[in-house]
């Protein structure tokens, strides 16, 4: 059997590569573009948009047909792009797991692509290298590895060589001073020799990739609800259209008029506005959120933002900067902070990758020109300290500096028991605040032969240096706003419980109870569902445990938003109702698995995004409520002549005007509405909230009945006066359109005054009203347009009749609104949260 130091033969490596496959994540065969498009076109909403456009085109209304088909094409294109982008997540993982590797093959070192590394390979690693696969250390010299992408820990962990052939198997990332290393992690100091034990999908990062591939993002609730309502309206409209055609044809004998009447009724009840408004709101919502430096990768996530009840956040890189800094300096008597930091900097390895060494060097800010390193003593199992010997300009003697575990430095300095006890008390106090503490000592040496061990020098105690990954400045305020909005914040981290608890307290999170990954692994799914209801901090959590926590919260009916930046966060980001990745320091894997990316890594952007999400959902409810309301008078006026035997009023061209000018335009007007005054002081809407609640539908139908009653009264009164059919149609249509505008105004605010559009600042709404009235005027003043609509002349007494009717409707809508508010106060329910 060949010794491990000789590595594999090329022939054996080739056989293992053929048997196990490349050292990369398995990729499913890519879906072709037409397959993705076909899947999307099978969705009822997109199919309805296309069918609606085809109906308009068939009726000869080419402009309306082209507009609707353009909207459908745009929506389909956006969805195709999103589907293609979402498939990049495994590509990003494969890129991270395939760095180049220096291996020993046939007793010679050679560099090969990471994807060609196989089980049994011996790999040499050094500072700045990515570990190409999971393995165990045969040799290790001062080896520190950053595993934060797998564990969430901000501090690199020390590694050692294995003590026996069996040691290292089955170990997980995150342990201090263990012999196992893992694919994708970064060597920040030292060197090592790794025996590869797992490649590709069998590695820790490969398990995350398989987890991602098996997770299906849930279909957004709003999309499901809208889809159900669209189908209901479509079936109802089809049945009503057939019934009208048959009834009209049998009773009046004119099957051509029957067909026109049936088409008009079908178009009046055709719910193409729902998917159209949803598409407009999602597109505009993504644009508005982008103004807050937030990228929306999946527009459907916008609908869920306002319902978030729990925000699960990682610690490292999310609440903290993921950048070690010096937080505390406790200098020895007769010394100061600057001198302490100078000694600590001299104890660091020159040009180190270690984040703590870099933090000390940045804090010390000393000149390094002219000095030379004479000797360095590495960290060892029996002395957890690093010692450097320097020749400094102007010093006759060599300068010695050491830093490391406080106990090791106390030992080097041979301190008295009382002094040692005082230092230990200080270390314990700093540790409870989440600070990683290093002891620092200094000494001098002559030019003679140097000792073989740091214990051969005479050291003086210099003090303690405390380092930590500091909290982001914006975090406490953002968390306070989340709590005020009724959103519970839970920290889930791979870091040490003490550190996690200290950061949680500093951020303003409840930190009395901390559950560790070991404790969590002993809980059943049912027990975990109960436990997550009260725990605010989870520490030492593995990637699959993050996923369990998110799923346990969802099982309780919570709507979960999850922030993160590491590969270890990717499965939970994908499973969460809203995955929020950090765009600056975050990994490509986290960004691709998420639905929202914070471009500036500003945790405060999470709160701004929730605020925008609530505003978007509120305004979407207003728009949907209006659409339900306005279909009542349109369908009623289309059916009334058939029930009474009176002249037809609405023809397809009139429905096209209402549907393709007023409705899509007013969706933009509703989208432009300002947020409600209590948008971030009310609790989230119920997790099982429905956009079309019973109370909302009832209120919208009542509004529609009021508009129908006023319009029908004008119609019947005009017929009773013996007016020509064209003038009856003109009066009725004018009343219907102006009633439509009244319904828009009545639905534009939940809490504010409904008729303040002239001073409310919604310029889009004001523009719609002006354009609509101008177009109405053109239908009676421009002969070709008047003939197209079948209108007659408009007299001043007709204008007065319409004005009185609209005034009556305004008063009725105001009374309905007052009654609704009174009912809300007495029943304790609120319109915007009872869905």
Beta pairing class for 537-539 and 488-492: parallel
Q: CA–CA separation, 748 vs 817, rounded Å?
A: 12
Q: Active-site residue 314, yes or no?
A: yes
Closest CA relative to residue 190, chosen from 146, 157, 143: 143
Please tell me whether residue 354 adopts helix, strand or coil conformation.
Answer: coil
Q: Are 319 and 472 in contact (CB under 8 A)?
A: yes
Q: Which two tokens stand for residue 628?
A: 């339900």
Q: CA–CA separation, 682 vs 748, rounded Å?
A: 19
Q: How far is CA 452 from the centre of its chain?
A: 55
Please tell me whether residue 105 adopts helix, strand or coil conformation.
Answer: strand
Tell me the CA distances in angstroms from 648 to 559, 631, 640, 730, one per residue in order: 50, 18, 8, 12
Catalytic residue among 121, 314, 663, 798: 314
Residues in the chain, total: 835
Q: CA–CA separation, 390 vs 375, rounded Å?
A: 7
Q: CA–CA separation, 202 vs 24, rounded Å?
A: 10
End-to-end Cα separation, the chain, in angstroms: 71
With a CB cutoff of 8 Å and minimum separation 6, the contacts of 365 are none
Q: Which two tokens stand for residue 671?
A: 């989208």
Handedness of CA 330, 332, 334, 339 (dihedral sign): negative
DSSP 33-78: HHHHHHHHHTSHHHHHHHHHHHHHHHTT-HHHHHHHHHHHHHHHHH
Residue with tokens 């999307």: 40
Q: Which two tokens stand for residue 151?
A: 């564990």
Q: Are 535 and 118 in contact (CB under 8 A)?
A: no
Tell me the CA distances in angstroms from 400 to 93, 248, 339, 388, 397, one per residue in order: 44, 104, 14, 6, 10
With a CB cutoff of 8 Å and minimum separation 6, the contacts of 496 are 153, 434, 539, 540
DSSP 522-545: TS-HHHHHHHTTT--EEES--HHH
Q: Residues with catalytic annotation?
A: 314
């Amino acid at each position: 059997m060949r010794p491990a130091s000789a590595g594999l033969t090329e022939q054996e490596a080739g056989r293992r590569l053929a048997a196990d496959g490349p050292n990369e994540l398995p990729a499913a065969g890519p879906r072709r573009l037409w397959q993705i498009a076909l899947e999307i076109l099978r969705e009822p909403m997109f199919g309805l948009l296309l069918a609606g456009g085809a109906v308009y085109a068939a009726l000869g209304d080419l402009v309306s047909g082209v507009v609707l088909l353009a909207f459908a094409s745009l929506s389909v294109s956006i969805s195709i792009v999103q589907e293609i982008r979402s498939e990049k997540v495994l590509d990003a993982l494969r890129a991270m797991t395939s760095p180049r590797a220096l291996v020993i093959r046939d007793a010679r070192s050679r560099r090969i692509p990471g994807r060609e590394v196989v089980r049994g390979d011996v790999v040499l690693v050094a500072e700045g290298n990515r570990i190409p696969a999971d393995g165990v250390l045969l040799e290790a010299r001062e080896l520190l590895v950053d595993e934060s992408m797998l564990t969430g820990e901000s501090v690199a962990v020390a590694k050692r060589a294995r003590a026996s052939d069996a040691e290292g198997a089955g170990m997980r990332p995150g342990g201090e001073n263990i012999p196992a290393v893992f694919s994708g992690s970064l060597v920040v100091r030292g060197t090592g020799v790794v025996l590869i034990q797992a490649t590709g999908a069998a590695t820790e990062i490969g398990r995350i990739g398989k987890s991602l591939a098996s997770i299906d993002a849930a279909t957004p609730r709003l999309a499901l609800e809208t889809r159900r309502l669209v189908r209901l309206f479509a079936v109802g409209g089809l049945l009503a259209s057939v019934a009208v055609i048959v009834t009209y044809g049998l009773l009046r004998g004119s099957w051509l008029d029957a067909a026109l009447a049936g088409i008009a009724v079908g178009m009046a009840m055709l719910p193409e506005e729902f998917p159209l408004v949803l598409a407009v709101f999602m597109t505009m919502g993504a644009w508005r959120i982008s103004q807050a430096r937030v990228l929306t990768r999946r527009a459907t996530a916008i609908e869920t933002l306002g319902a978030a009840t729990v925000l699960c956040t990682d610690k490292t890189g999310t609440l903290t900067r993921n950048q070690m800094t010096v937080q505390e300096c406790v200098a020895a008597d007769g010394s100061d902070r600057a001198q302490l930091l100078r000694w600590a900097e001299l104890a660091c390895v020159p040009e180190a990758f270690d984040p703590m060494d870099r933090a000390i060097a940045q804090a010390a800010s000393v000149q390094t020109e002219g000095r030379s390193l004479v000797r360095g003593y590495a960290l060892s199992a029996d002395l957890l300290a690093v010692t450097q010997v320097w020749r400094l300009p102007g010093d006759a003697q060599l300068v010695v500096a050491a830093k490391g575990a406080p106990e090791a430095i106390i030992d080097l300095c041979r301190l008295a028991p009382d002094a040692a006890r005082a230092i230990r008390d200080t270390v314990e106090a700093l540790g409870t605040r989440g600070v990683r503490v290093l002891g620092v000592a200094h000494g001098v040496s002559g030019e003679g032969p140097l000792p073989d061990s740091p214990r051969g020098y005479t050291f003086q105690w210099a003090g303690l240096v405390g380092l930590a990954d500091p909290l982001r400045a914006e975090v406490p305020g953002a968390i306070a706003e989340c709590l005020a909005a009724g959103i519970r914040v839970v920290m889930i981290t791979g870091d040490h419980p003490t550190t996690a608890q200290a950061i949680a307290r500093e951020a303003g999170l409840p930190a009395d109870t901390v559950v560790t990954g070991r404790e969590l692994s002993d809980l059943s799914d049912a027990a975990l569902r109960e436990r997550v209801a009260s725990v605010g901090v989870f520490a030492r959590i593995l990637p699959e445990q993050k996923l369990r926590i998110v799923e346990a919260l969802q099982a309780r009916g919570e709507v979960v938003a999850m922030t993160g930046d590491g590969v270890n966060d990717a499965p939970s980001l994908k499973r969460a109702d809203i995955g929020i990745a950090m765009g600056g320091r975050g990994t490509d894997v986290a960004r691709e698995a998420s639905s929202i990316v914070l471009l500036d890594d500003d945790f405060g952007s999470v709160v701004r995004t929730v605020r925008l999400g609530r505003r978007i959902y509120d305004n979407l409810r207003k728009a949907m409520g209006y659409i339900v309301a306005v279909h009542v008078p349109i369908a009623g006026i289309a059916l009334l002549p058939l029930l009474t035997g009176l002249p037809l009023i609405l023809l397809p061209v009139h429905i096209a005007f209402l549907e393709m000018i007023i409705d899509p335009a007013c969706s933009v007007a509703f989208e432009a509405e300002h947020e409600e005054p209590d948008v971030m002081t009310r609790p989230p809407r119920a997790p099982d909230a429905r956009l079309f609640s019973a109370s909302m539908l009832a209120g919208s139908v009542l509004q529609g009945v009021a508009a129908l009653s006023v319009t029908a009264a004008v119609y019947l009164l005009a017929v009773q006066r013996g007016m020509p059919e064209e003038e009856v149609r003109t009066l009725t249509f004018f009343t219907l359109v102006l009633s439509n505008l009244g319904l828009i105004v009545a639905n534009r605010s939940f809490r504010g005054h409904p008729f303040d559009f002239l001073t409310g600042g919604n310029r889009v709404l004001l523009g719609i009203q002006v354009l609509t009235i101008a177009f109405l005027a053109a239908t009676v003043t421009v002969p070709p347009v008047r003939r197209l609509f079948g209108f007659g002349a408009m007299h001043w007494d007709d204008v007065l009749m319409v004005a009185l009717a609209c005034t009556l409707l305004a008063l009725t809508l105001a009374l309905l609104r007052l009654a609704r508010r009174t009912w809300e106060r007495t029943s304790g329910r609120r319109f915007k949260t009872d869905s």
